[in-house]
Amino acid sequence: TQLLEQSPQFLSIQEGENLTVYCNSSSVFSSLQWYRQEPGEGPVLLVTVVTGGEVKKLKRLTFQFGDARKDSSLHITAAQPGDTGLYLCAGSGGTSYGKLTFGQGTILTVHP
């Protein structure tokens, strides 16, 4: 069974601070995705990383896939209140026919 451990579970910071969310597994994933979920809505895909060591940037968000494709991180620079939400990592791979294994999520609150 593939598991993804996401940390921290909760993050409360002030506007302008930087933060990093981690997603770790003992299993290899062929791809790893990061989602953001707002209350009452479904997860929205932010990025997909597929190559070990890959780094992708989306404005103030930087996503990294570990060399061994077992871990990933999400770094937010100069967080803003609009970044508040639930961040989820999800991996897919093997013979899973594309099903996603999700981490438990990180609830981020950015205070003005």
Partner 1 sequence: DSGVTQTPKHLITATGQRVTLRCSPRSGDLSVYWYQQSLDQGLQFLIQYYNGEERAKGNILERFSAQQFPDLHSELNLSSLELGDSALYFCASRQGTYGYTFGSGTRLTVV
Work out the angle at residue 66's Cα, subtended by the Cα atoms of residues 61 and 72, and round it to the nearest 5 degrees. 45
Q: How many angstroms separate the CA atoms of 17 and 84, rounded? A: 13
Segment lying near partner 1 (by CB under 8 A), choices 14-22, 45-53, 54-62, 69-77: 45-53
Query: Given the complex with partner 1, which of 64 and 79 has the nearer CB atom?
Result: 64
Segment lying near partner 1 (by CB under 8 A), choices 10-18, 36-44, 54-62, 72-80: 36-44
Burial (CB count within 10 angstroms: exposed 0-12, middle 13-18, buried 19+), residue 31? middle
**Which one, of 99, 86, 94, 101, lies nearest residue 44 by Cα?**
86
The verdict on 66 binding partner 1 (CB under 8 A) reads: no
Binding pattern to partner 1, positions 72-111, x when CB under 8 A?
Answer: ----------------x-x-x---xxxxxxxxxx------
Q: Are 15 and 80 in contact (CB under 8 A)?
A: yes
The verdict on 40 binding partner 1 (CB under 8 A) reads: yes
Query: Given the complex with partner 1, which of 60 and 99 has the nearer CB atom?
Result: 99
